[in-house]
Amino acid sequence: MKERVLRELSSTEWLREFQKKLHAKAKAEPRFRFYSLYDKTYRTDVLAEAYRKAKANGGTSGVDGETFDDIEKKGTDIYLAELQLEMQERRYVPKPVRRVYIPKLNGKQRPLGIPTIRDRIVQTAFLLTLEPIFEADFADSSYGFRAGKSAHDAVREIYKYLNWGCVEVYDVDLEKYFDRVDHGKLMKLVARRISDAQILHVIKQWLSCGYVEEGQHRQSTQGTPQGGVISPLLANIYLNPVDQAFKKERLGNISKGSIHLVRYADDMVILAQKNLEKGIALLKQYIGRLGLRLNEEKTRWLKLIIGNSVDFLGFRFHSVRSRQNCARLILVYPSPRSQERLRVMVRKYIHHSIPLRVKDQVENLNRYLRGWMGYFRLGHGSAMFQKLAHFVNLRVRHVIWRRRGRRGYGFSKLTSQYIYGQLGLFYDYHVAPLSP
């Protein structure tokens, strides 16, 4: 047991050192194209780490129906050894993804592609090798799915620019971004850094393997499926020319209007003190080159004067006047849509028809509330959180009282000690400051 732990530590140290070297080389030589990488992706230690990460991320099975339990019944070492040989002999061919749909708040559905576990392992192995290289090329304005960066960092950046006076805002919505990615253009962008033919071949296979929906296999000629392990990296590679254009033009200089781009995957916003039209023109130029289009109905150009607001990543940035000195203030809190989503989920988790004890329903709800508050507590939502806490409290009381065959909320009988003590209902609604 001790020898195995030491062996795993040694493998992890090698991988980290290898990633550091790749990143340093890419940073030092922006035009260098990396070769002879494919054999690193099927190293025993790399595949073992890829399997560990894939399992930690969980998820259901793909089109082959294979689960992690199936793999472990067979023996993880045996499974990975077979996959390693398949990759080494270049017999690996990805299977199409299984397409499912996730309901959206507006009643529409969002497609999600679920690769097989086998493909998720190989994609993770590729990600471990390729991400350090492309990370060296990505701009600071990009925050989505990057190591050391988060949605909160993007929110803080927007808050900072708004307080700098960059109140001219262009709220961008790309029309069906993940469906419109041009495979040829994406592969050219990848090939700027990667010359290993087998790496490029496998990535191209992932892009073109298609999806299975209602038992029918449909081929992909463009787009990248949401849900694939490698998809966020490819999405960032495809939009990196937009980020680099803003960086190259130095639009952030005050003399040019202090124009700034903040991007999280395909969500982006441009903020400026003045001359916002320059930033808009540059954006349209580059997304046009990439074969993308703006959703004109959802894309907005506005000025964040007193009373106006803009939503980004589920947060609302709202401009108000200070009661103390009449100065302009920017308040940040969960958007009305995010709040409504919470209410919908509370009703889903706490309901009189669910065949669970209320205490068990509360435990399930608590997991959701912890995650929701972990994301949304950033900013100035204290008053709003109290209203939501009151709503949750009433919902729990109503279900308890209805199960007892009564109407109302049972305030005289159901004490706070019972609700928050015995049932253990979540109550941590404190806010977190926006400053780093």
pLDDT digit string (tens) for 320-348? 998 777 778 999 999 999 999 999 999 99
Q: What tokens does 93 get?
A: 């061919």
b/e map 115-129, b = 16+ CB within 10 Å: bbbbbbbbbbbbbbb
Cα–Cα distance for residue pair 53/50, rounded to 1 Å: 5
CA–CA gap between residue 336 and residue 316 (Å, rounded)? 8
Percent of the chain residues topping a pLDDT of 90: 87
Question: What's the sign of the alpha-carbon dihedral 321, 323, 329, 330?
Answer: negative
Which pLDDT band, with edges at 50, 70 and 90, does 105 fall under?
low
81: tokens are: 């050894």
Which is nearest to 195 in space by CA: 24, 349, 37? 37
Please state, in angstroms and as integers, the Cα–Cα distance from residue 86 to each residue in 83, 118, 122, 200, 353, following that order. Answer: 5, 11, 11, 17, 50
Does position 44 have pLDDT exceeding 90, yes or no?
yes
pLDDT tens per residue across span 175-216: 999 989 999 999 999 999 999 999 999 999 999 999 998 889
Q: Is the pLDDT of residue 1 over 70?
A: no
The contacts of residue 33 (CB under 8 Å, 6+ apart) are 191, 192, 193, 194, 195
Residue-wise burial string across 27-36, b where 16 or more C-beta atoms lie within 10 A, e elsewhere: eeeeeeebee
pTM: 0.92
The whole-angstrom separation of Cα 353 and Cα 86 is: 50
- The pLDDT tens digits of the residues spanning 54-101 come to 999 988 999 999 999 999 999 999 999 999 999 999 999 999 999 998
Per residue in 265-308, pLDDT (tens digit) is 999 999 999 999 999 999 999 999 999 999 999 999 999 999 99
pLDDT at 218 over 60: yes
Give the mean pLDDT of 134-161.
97
What pLDDT does residue 436 have? 57
Mean pLDDT, residues 11-25: 93
**What are the contacts of 399-408 at 24+ separation with CB within 8 A?**
399/350, 399/351, 399/352, 399/358, 399/361, 400/358, 402/352, 403/352, 403/358
b vs e for 204-241, b when ≥16 Cβ sit within 10 Å of the residue's Cβ? eebbebbbbbeeeeeebebbbbbbbbbbbbbbbbbbbe
Nearest to 237 by CA among 128, 330, 137, 111: 137
Which of 394, 126, 129, 157 minimizes the C-alpha distance to 268? 157
> How far apart are alpha carbons 419 and 147 in whole angstroms?
40
